[in-house]
Amino acid sequence: MSTANIESILQEKRLFPPAAEFSQNAHIKSAEDYQRLYDKAKANPEAFWAELAEQELDWFQKWDTVLDWQPPFAKWFVNGKINISHNCLDRHLTTANKNKAAIIWEGEPGDSRTITYAQLHREVSQFANALKQLGVKKGDTVGIYMPMIPEAAVAMLACARIGAPHSVVFGGFSAEALRDRLNDAKAKVVITADGGFRKDSIVALKPQVDKALENNAAPSVENVLVVQRTKQDIEMQSGRDYWWHDLQKDVSADCPAEPMDAEDVLFVLYTSGSTGKPKGVVHTTGGYNLYSHMTTKWIFDLQDTDVYWCTADVGWITGHSYIVYGPLSNGATTVMYEGAPRKSNPGCFWDVVEKYGVTVFYTAPTAIRAFIKMGDEHPKARDLSSLRLLGTVGEPINPEAWMWYHQVIGGEKCPIVDTWWQTETGGVMITPLPGAIPTKPGSATRPFPGILADIVDLDGNPVKDNEGGYLVVRHPWPGMMRTVYGDPDRFRRTYWEHIAPKDGKYLYFAGDGARKDEDGYFWVMGRVDDVLNISGHRLGTMEVESALVSHPAVAEAAVVGKPDEVKGEEIVAFVTLEGGNQGSEELNKELKKHVVSEIGAIARPGEIRFTDALPKTRSGKIMRRLLRNLAAGQEVSGDTSTLEDISVLDKLRTEA
């Protein structure tokens, strides 16, 4: 985040209380109601969650123990039996929701579909039976590599129904990135589509899967199931590959949901960290169901008549919790959109809002900034009067973007929920409850009831109001990740050992710096580790560096983020070359392409700078802090005494 941003946030004093009409009808109606819930949950978190689990979800069998906490490993609702697909589908069939729209889908070329709860239940059950026929059993992992089409949600729910953990890989990831994830998750089946519509082009998906599986490079994968979406020519390998529509033929729609243990794995979702390869974040069934359900209900204040739209992709956690599981568990109508903001269609989001009368709208600051740039005339030319609540997620929102969202999109009448959370947390952790908490532009405000968030120093001591520190959580919550897939030790090291209180207590820390103001409002400043946030997507500097170094011309690479008006951050890579290679315009382009083919388009470096040497400490660590200054065009600040060779810095400056 740029210094200018931080300064404007520090001076932000505006307060926007929710309108009385909004609060009257909201689930949580006042600051006092919020405080009561918060205090009750804080006094006895287990009792608080148990009461909600009982009230809000269907269980096949009740749990014996609410929380079994062997730090840092938590089990919630021990011995409880539950199925999230049952909670998202079956239980709505005996209510007025049976023929309500579950998913309203808007395709990129303008096609659309509305699927009721009864229809979705049927499709999911059929596909679950199709998976079973292929030999997919409880406990087998299924990879999902799909465009934003309803079949992606059907696939996830079908896996959940039979107890096969899913691992969704964002459709924009390359074959290499897909292969790594499939291998780590040991996926038995991959569900994909021939292709997808992304912005103004057709992207290949099945050919990427073929590439990922080439030469038996992902040996666990036995079958590939393919949805026909774009109708482009693709190869189908006989005996391995099946069309989705063929599999759905003549399959029974009777597939009772498997009673799952509350702690059975629901999904593994890969995310970037500061070191090493992406981590498989493991979420389990019962706790995740409860946490995604409650946060959706209270934060988006879902009412029967709402048309709720989250613009994320199902490849990310936001899509899991707030397009699929949270809304459907609540019996809401959830909109799914295949398109994305772009110059060639600057009104695309607002067309969807108008077409379906969207009432609750949840997007990312990077999208908001892109729309600001495209001009107010586009939203102004559409009828956005149906909107009653707005949300943002993914990165800190600058107050100017917040104000634009409030005025131009929300018509000054919609509360804005700025929701802070992470793949690891399963659901939103810090956020206003829209009918209860007055908002301040740029602040995620207060913790969700049951979340004991704090700002501390490295020893775990709380810092003073308005002093920066590390954002931690002091007590387990139902939606927390349970482990890193296949690597419990990495789980402990990554999240529980950075902050070390003297009393030996475990604090959860996943890398963000923040401060709390005199009203107890949280202001998240961004990552304090080597994780980049490009358009709200997490990328580890290491991942991009490894991709660069895998090119034969590259000797060493160091990657940093540079502030960018729309994307939040842009990647700048400093690269040294293997002897004999010369930096050139051509090589620059080639390296960018190489990173895209190794990771995906989201990782394309904005800038590559060739250099003779990288600034390192005497112990050989690259001093990224200095490179960050250089990338941003600033003077190098802070201590440079640990630098092994100061002349490297002078050279880098002159090369820039």
Residues of this chain that interact with ligand WTA (CB under 6 A) are 271, 316-318, 393-396, 418-423, 444, 510-512, 524, 526-527, 533, 538
Query: Whose Cβ is closer to ligand WTA: residue 327's or residue 583's?
Result: 327
Report how far residue 467's alpha carbon sits from residue 334's, in angstroms, rounded to the nearest whole number.
Answer: 40
Query: Whose Cβ is closer to ligand WTA: residue 202's or residue 525's?
Result: 525
- Taking CA atoms, 314 is separated from 310, 317, 394, in Å, by 10, 7, 14
For tokens 């559409």, what's the residue? 382
Q: Tell me which residue of 330, 329, 410 sits closest to 363, measured CA to CA.
A: 410
Query: Whose Cβ is closer to ligand WTA: residue 417's or residue 557's?
Result: 417
Q: What's the closest the beta carbon of residue 6 comes to ligand WTA, in angstroms?
A: 12
Judge residue 68's burial from the number of C-beta atoms within 10 Å of its C-beta, 0-12 exposed, 13-18 middle, 19 or more buried: middle
What tokens were used for 507?
A: 């604090």
Report how far residue 563's alpha carbon sits from residue 546's, in angstroms, rounded to the nearest whole number.
Answer: 22
Report how far residue 466's alpha carbon sits from residue 306's, in angstroms, rounded to the nearest whole number.
Answer: 37
Query: Whose Cβ is closer to ligand WTA: residue 475's or residue 527's?
Result: 527
Query: Whose Cβ is closer to ligand WTA: residue 192's or residue 535's?
Result: 535
Query: Whose Cβ is closer to ligand WTA: residue 50's or residue 299's?
Result: 299
DSSP symbol at 217: S
Report which secondary-structure segment, H or E, holds 247. helix 244-248
Query: Whose Cβ is closer to ligand WTA: residue 278's or residue 347's?
Result: 278
- Taking CA atoms, 206 is separated from 103, 136, 146, in Å, by 25, 20, 9
Q: What's the closest the beta carbon of residue 524 comes to ligand WTA, in angstroms?
A: 4
- The one-letter code for the residue type at 161 is R
Q: What's the closest the beta carbon of residue 472 comes to ligand WTA, in angstroms?
A: 12
Residue closest to ligand WTA when measured from CB atoms: 423
Q: What's the closest the beta carbon of residue 321 comes to ligand WTA, in angstroms?
A: 8
Q: What's the closest the beta carbon of residue 101 comes to ligand WTA, in angstroms?
A: 26
Tell me the backbone φ, ψ of residue 53, rounded to 5 degrees: -60, -40
Q: What's the closest the beta carbon of residue 113 comes to ligand WTA, in angstroms?
A: 27
Q: What's the closest the beta carbon of residue 278 comes to ligand WTA, in angstroms?
A: 11
Report how far residue 528's alpha carbon sits from residue 532's, in angstroms, rounded to the nearest whole number.
Answer: 10
Q: Which residues of 251-270 are buried (b: 16+ CB within 10 A; e: fewer)?
A: beeebebbebbbbbbbbbbb
Q: What's the closest the beta carbon of residue 312 comes to ligand WTA, in angstroms?
A: 8
72 cis-preceded (ω within 30 degrees of 0): yes
Query: Whose Cβ is closer to ligand WTA: residue 163's or residue 394's?
Result: 394
* Residue 391: alpha-carbon gap to chain centroid: 14
Tell me the backbone φ, ψ of residue 254, rounded to 5 degrees: -105, 105
Task: Show Cβ contacts of residue 500 under 8 Å, excluding neighbours closer than 6 positions.
Answer: 458, 459, 460
- Taking CA atoms, 101 is separated from 111, 277, 308, 348, 352, in Å, by 17, 40, 11, 22, 16
Q: What's the closest the beta carbon of residue 479 comes to ligand WTA, in angstroms?
A: 12
Query: Whose Cβ is closer to ligand WTA: residue 161's or residue 320's?
Result: 320
Q: What's the closest the beta carbon of residue 537 comes to ligand WTA, in angstroms?
A: 6
Q: What's the closest the beta carbon of residue 366 comes to ligand WTA, in angstroms?
A: 11
- The one-letter code for the residue type at 202 is I
Query: Whose Cβ is closer to ligand WTA: residue 271's or residue 629's?
Result: 271
Query: Whose Cβ is closer to ligand WTA: residue 38's or residue 420's?
Result: 420
* CB distance 468 to 515 below 8 Å: yes
Report how far residue 614's alpha carbon sits from residue 617's, in angstroms, rounded to the nearest whole number.
Answer: 10
Query: Whose Cβ is closer to ligand WTA: residue 329's or residue 423's?
Result: 423
Q: What's the closest the beta carbon of residue 300 comes to ligand WTA, in angstroms?
A: 14
